[in-house]
Amino acid sequence: MGAQTKPSDPVVVTFEQISKAIGSDEAMGNLGEASGRDATIDPVQKATIMAGVGNVLRMLQDAERTAGAKVLTAPHDARAARLQSLVASGEAANLRYAALPSGGLEAMFDTNDWSGWATVVWEKLKHLIPHPMVRPKTDVAASLPDKCRIAVLGDWGTGLYGAPKIGAAVRQDRDPFDLLLHLGDVYYSGTSSEVDQRFLEIWPTRRGAINRALNSNHEMYSGGDAYFGRTLPAFGQEGSYFAYQNSQWTLIGLDVAYKDHAIDDEQVRWLTEVVRKAGDRKIVLFSHHQLYSNLEKEQGAKLWSHPGFGELLLSKRIFAWYWGHEHRCTVYEAPDTNFGIWARCIGHSGMPQSRDLTIGLSRATGPAYERADWRFCPAVTVEGNPLPRAVVLEGRNEFIIGEEDKFTPHGYAVLNIDGVHLEEEVRSATGEVIYSKRLV
Amino acid sequence: MAGNSPVEAVRKVRSIIGPLNIPDSEAEAQSALEALRNGEAPTPQQLTALEIVVRLLRPVVLLRNGQLDDLPETTNRDLRPVELKDAWSKFQTIAKQYVGSVGRIEDARSRHVGTGFVVGAGLVATNRHVLAVLSSGAEVLAPGAGRIVFKQEYLATNSAADIAALVEVVAIHPVKDIVILRADTAARMPVAFVDGVPTAGANIVTIGFPGKDEANNPLFLTSVFDGKFGVKSAALGEVLDGTAASDIFHDCSTTQGNSGSPVFVVSTGQVTGIHRSGYFMYRNEAVSSAEIRALL
C-alpha cells in the first residue's frame, strides 16, 4: 500500500489504467461516496467535479485515440493531469510497472482499498490553491555577452523518447552555451517527483551557462508548487519571468501560464519598463504558450487582448518570439502582418505529436529545407491576423520505439547571437542542424 | 472496502448524462455544459438553461395504462427533429406489447431495488447486483426475498395480478452484471432481442423505475423526472461513442432504481441490452442483449 519504490524510468499512464482507476464500477461508486461525505462544498460544485471526471475520461480516451499508441499523452486539463500524476505516483494504490516498448513504464493500477483511493482522488479533483506567483525583484535586465549562444528546449519534461537524446546533445555540444532555456511543461502535472525525475535530474547543465525555466500549463496543473519551489531555486532563478540583454538584444522570458494562456497586469508593467530600458535593442520574447497557431484551434487571444500587452504587440516592437505548447516545430517564413513578429514554435523536445495534421502537407522546397522533412503550411489569417507561410517539421520519430511512423520528430533550437546578428538553428534530437537562418 | 462492497457501490451509481452536443440555438446551455465539464460552476441563469435542454433533449415520460406518454413539447425551441417525433410515435405502438413485461423489483419489505423484464416464459432478467441486494450477497433467493411488480404506474394502483414472487435464481452470468430469475410472468410477452449493438447516435429508450438519487445526480434530478420517482418511466437517449462488443454506452436519463432496465431500440422496439450503471454527465452503461440470450 502507498507509494512504491521509485521506478527506474519515467511512468506512462494509459487510458486503460486511468479508466480502471477512476472509471471502474468500484471507483465510480466510491467517488460518489466520497462526494457524499464531503460537506465542504455545495451541490453545484459537486456536480462540476463529477462532470469534470467524466470529461477527464473522455479527454484521455480521445488523446490516446489520436496518438494511436500507448505513449505519454497529456490533454490540456488540470484534473486529467493531476489524476495522471496521482496514478503514476502510486499514492494510495498498489502499483506495478510494465515496460512499454515505445519507452517508459506503464503504471498498472490496482487497489484493495477503493474507499481510501476514492477519498484521495476526490481531493485531487477539487480546486487547488495555486502557489503565489514569484516575480523578479528588478526590471533591469541581466547581462549577456554580445556574442552568446542559447539552447531552447520546449515541452521537454517527459524524460522519455527524444528528450534524453536532446539532453545528451546539449551536454555534449562542442561549443559553449551561455543560456539553457526550457519553454516549460513537465508531465503530467509538474509535481515534485515529476519535476525531479523528468526535469531537474536530467536537465543538461553546462559549465558557465545560465539555466532558466518558463512556467507552463502542465506545471500549474499541480498548482505550480514544484515549479516555484524546486525548479526556480535549483536554477537560481528569481522569478517566473526574466530579462537578459547585451548591447544589441534584449531577451525576455514571460510567464503566460500562471494565468492560463494570459498575462497579468503587473507583469505587463514590468515588461513595458524592460522594453523602455532596452532602447534601440531588438526584443526577443520566449514563453510557453503561443501567440497564435496555424494548425491548432487554440490561439493567444487573451494575450493580444490585454490592453497594455496588445499595445506593445501592435507597436511592432517585438522582433521575434519563440514559444512551445504545441508539440511541433513551426517556423514562419516572415513576420506576421499585425504584430511584425518572427514567430517560431519549438515545442517538439519530448512529447509524442501525432502526424495527423502535417503528414498531408506538401514537402517544402528550397535549399533551406533540404536537411529534413519540412512541410509548407500555407499562409492563413487567424482572428484577423494574416500569418505568412510557415514550414513545419514532419517525418517519423525514431525515438518512439515501435511507433516511429505515428509521431513527428523531436528536436530543439539553438540561437547564436553575434553583435547585431541573430542566427537560429533547428537541431535534431541528436544535435544535427536541420535548418538554419540568419534573421538579421 | 470500508463497508462499501463493489456491489453496493454499483447500486448507487445511476446517472443523468444529458446530451453530448447542445444545439447552436442554446448558447446559455452550451456555456453551462462547458463550464461543468471544465470543473467550473456555471451561473444560475446558465444552469437553468441547461436544465431545460437536458429535460427536453433527454426526456423521461411516464407510462399510463400500459401506454407510453408523448414526448414533452419543445415549444419555441427547435430541439427535436421531426424524424424523432415520428419514430417515437411508431415506438409507442410497437412497445405497447412489451411495456407490461417490465416490472419494479422490490425486496422483502417492498422497498424498491431495481428493474426487471420478461425474457421468456417464467423468466425475468435483471442485474446481478440487484440479486445481491435481495439475497444479502448470497445470490440465492429465500422465500419472500423479492418480488416483481409489473405495473407500478404513476397514480395507479397495483392489483394482485400485477405482482409476482421472485422464486429462484435460474442463471447468473459469470462475468457480466446479469441474472435470470424465475417468476410467474403469466401471459406477459417476452421482449424481442436484437443481435449486435447499435452504432453511436442511435436512438434508444430505457424503461424502468428511476429512484430519487441526489447523491449521484446533484443537478437536474427533479426537473428531468418531474419529481416522479419509483414509477414506470421511459427515458429517451442515444448510444454513445465507444460502444463495442458487449458494452453499450448511452445517455438515457437513469437513476439507481433503473438497474436492470431493458434498453430498447426506438426504430424497432427490440431490446439491445440491459442497463447496469452510470456516471453523472459522462455515460451510462448497459450490457448487450447477446449476453442475456447466452443465459437463456
CB-CB under 8 Å, B40 with A47:
no
Query: pLDDT value at position A6?
Result: 63
Rg (CA), chain A: 22
Residues A245 and A61: their CA atoms lie apart, in Å, by 45
Helix (H), strand (E) at residue A427: strand A421-428
The answer to the question of residue A2 being in a domain is no
Residue A417 has pLDDT above 80, yes or no: yes
Query: pLDDT value at position B8?
Result: 52
Per the prediction, chain A carries an average pLDDT of: 94
The parent domain of residue B136 ranges over: 102-183
Q: Which of A98, A125, A152 is the last residue of a domain?
A: A125
DSSP label at residue B189:
P
Residues B260 and B178: their CA atoms lie apart, in Å, by 8
The answer to the question of residue B129 being in a domain is yes
Which tens digits make up the pLDDT trace of A419-436? 999 999 999 999 999 999
Q: What angle do CA A374, A380, A383 make, to 5 degrees?
A: 135
A12 strand-pairing partners: A106
Tell me what the mean pLDDT of segment B162-190 comes to: 97
The answer to the question of residue B177 being in a domain is yes
Q: Is B69 exposed, middle or buried (0-12, 13-18, 19+ CB in 10 A)?
A: middle
The answer to the question of residue B12 being in a domain is no
Report the DSSP pairing between strands A385-387 and A380-382: antiparallel
Query: pLDDT value at position B77?
Result: 66
With a pLDDT cut of 90, the percent of chain A lying above it is 76
Smallest CA–CA distance, residue A314 to chain B, in Å, is 31
Residue A148: CATH number of its domain: 3.60.21.10
Of the candidates B150, B119, B128, the residue with the CA atom closest to the CA atom of residue B270: B119
DSSP assignment of B268-292 equals: T--EEEEEEEEETTTEEEEEEHHHH
Which tens digits make up the pLDDT trace of A206-248? 999 999 999 999 999 999 999 999 999 999 999 999 999 999 9
Query: pLDDT value at position A2?
Result: 40
Which residues in chain A are closer than 8 Å to B4, comparing Cβ atoms? 29-30, 33, 114-115
Smallest CA–CA distance, residue B259 to chain A, in Å, is 13
Those residues whose C-beta lies under 8 Å from the C-beta of residue A425, and which sit 6 or more positions away, are: A413, A414, A415, A416, A433, A435, A436
Which residues in chain A are closer than 8 Å to B40, comparing Cβ atoms? 48
Least confident of A221-230, A279-288, B29-38, B137-146: B29-38
CB-CB under 8 Å, B279 with A28:
yes
A417 strand-pairing partners: A148, A422
Helix (H), strand (E) at residue A85: helix A78-89
Asked if A68 and A354 touch (Cβ cutoff 8 Å), the reply is: yes
Smallest CA–CA distance, residue B253 to chain A, in Å, is 15
The answer to the question of residue B244 being in a domain is no
CB-CB under 8 Å, A29 with B8:
yes
The answer to the question of residue A1 being in a domain is no
Same domain (yes/no): A213, A101: no
- Interface size A-B, in CB pairs within 8 Å, comes to 102
Which residues in chain A are closer than 8 Å to B37, comparing Cβ atoms? 51-52, 54-55
Nearest by CB to A25, from B10, B42, B218: name it. B10
Query: pLDDT value at position B232?
Result: 97
Nearest by CB to A36, from B35, B37, B215: name it. B215
Q: Which of A125, A158, A180 is the last residue of a domain?
A: A125
The answer to the question of residue A22 being in a domain is yes
> Among all residues of chain A, which has the CA nearest to that of B43?
A44
The answer to the question of residue B293 being in a domain is no
Residue B3 has pLDDT above 70, yes or no: no
Same domain (yes/no): A361, A227: yes
Residues B233 and A70: their CA atoms lie apart, in Å, by 42
Phi, psi of A97, deg, nearest 5: -125, 140
Tell me what the mean pLDDT of segment A16-35 comes to: 82
Query: pLDDT value at position B9?
Result: 45
pLDDT tier, B14 (very low <50, low <70, confident <90, very high otherwise): low
With a pLDDT cut of 70, the percent of chain A lying above it is 99
pLDDT tier, B117 (very low <50, low <70, confident <90, very high otherwise): very high
Name the more confident of A310 and A5: A310
Which tens digits make up the pLDDT trace of A294-312? 999 999 999 999 999 999 9
Interface residues on B facing A, Cβ-Cβ cutoff 8 A: 1-4, 6, 8-13, 35-42, 47, 214-216, 218-219, 242, 277, 279-283
Same domain (yes/no): A364, A408: yes
Helix (H, G, I), strand (E, B) or coil at A110: strand
Those residues whose C-beta lies under 8 Å from the C-beta of residue B117, and which sit 6 or more positions away, are: B98, B101, B102, B103, B124, B125, B126, B191, B207, B260, B261, B262, B271
Same domain (yes/no): A189, A98: no
Residue B135 has pLDDT above 60, yes or no: yes
Smallest CA–CA distance, residue B176 to chain A, in Å, is 12
Residue A4 has pLDDT above 70, yes or no: no
Q: How many domains does chain B contain in total? A: 1
Nearest by CB to A51, from B1, B13, B281: name it. B281
Same domain (yes/no): A153, A113: no
Q: Which of A125, A153, A185 is the last residue of a domain?
A: A125
Residue B128: CATH number of its domain: 2.40.10.10
Residues B287 and B197: their CA atoms lie apart, in Å, by 10
Report the DSSP pairing between strands A94-99 and A105-110: antiparallel
Query: pLDDT value at position A3?
Result: 41
DSSP assignment of B64-133 equals: ETTEEPPPPP-TT---S-HHHHHHHHHHHHHHHHHHTTEEEEEETT--EEEEEEEEETTEEEE-HHHHHH
Residues A190 and B150: their CA atoms lie apart, in Å, by 56
Helix (H, G, I), strand (E, B) or coil at A286: strand
Interface membership of A430 toward B (CB under 8 Å): no
Query: pLDDT value at position B102?
Result: 98
Angle, to 10 degrees, between the axis of helix A114-125 and the axis of helix A43-67?
A: 90
Query: pLDDT value at position B294?
Result: 94
HSE value, Cβ hemisphere, 13 Å, CA-based, for A99:
5
Asked if A259 and A417 touch (Cβ cutoff 8 Å), the reply is: no
The answer to the question of residue B45 being in a domain is no
Residue type, B175: V
pLDDT tier, B10 (very low <50, low <70, confident <90, very high otherwise): very low
Same domain (yes/no): A82, A219: no
Query: pLDDT value at position B78?
Result: 63
Same domain (yes/no): A230, A375: yes
Rg (CA), chain B: 18
Which residues in chain A are closer than 8 Å to B218, comparing Cβ atoms? 35, 43-44, 46-47, 50
Residue type, A29: G
Nearest by CB to A52, from B8, B37, B47: name it. B37
How many residues in total does chain A contain? 440
Smallest CA–CA distance, residue A22 to chain B, in Å, is 11
Query: pLDDT value at position A64?
Result: 87
Which residues in chain B are closer than 8 Å to A47, comparing Cβ atoms? 36, 218-219, 280-281
Q: What are the angstrom distances between the C-alpha of B31 and each of B79, B142, B292?
A: 17, 52, 40
Same domain (yes/no): A61, A114: yes
Q: How many domains does chain A contain in total? A: 2
Nearest by CB to B12, from A32, A44, A51: name it. A32
Same domain (yes/no): A100, A179: no
Which residues in chain A are closer than 8 Å to B279, comparing Cβ atoms? 23, 28, 50, 53-54
Same domain (yes/no): A173, A232: yes
Mutation site, A20, A44, A113, interface B, largest B CB count within 10 A: A44
Query: pLDDT value at position B21?
Result: 78
Those residues whose C-beta lies under 8 Å from the C-beta of residue A369, and which sit 6 or more positions away, are: A391, A435
Query: pLDDT value at position B37?
Result: 82
The parent domain of residue A83 ranges over: 11-125
Which tens digits make up the pLDDT trace of B252-275? 999 989 999 999 999 999 999 999
The answer to the question of residue B256 being in a domain is no
The ipTM estimated for the assembled molecules is 0.76
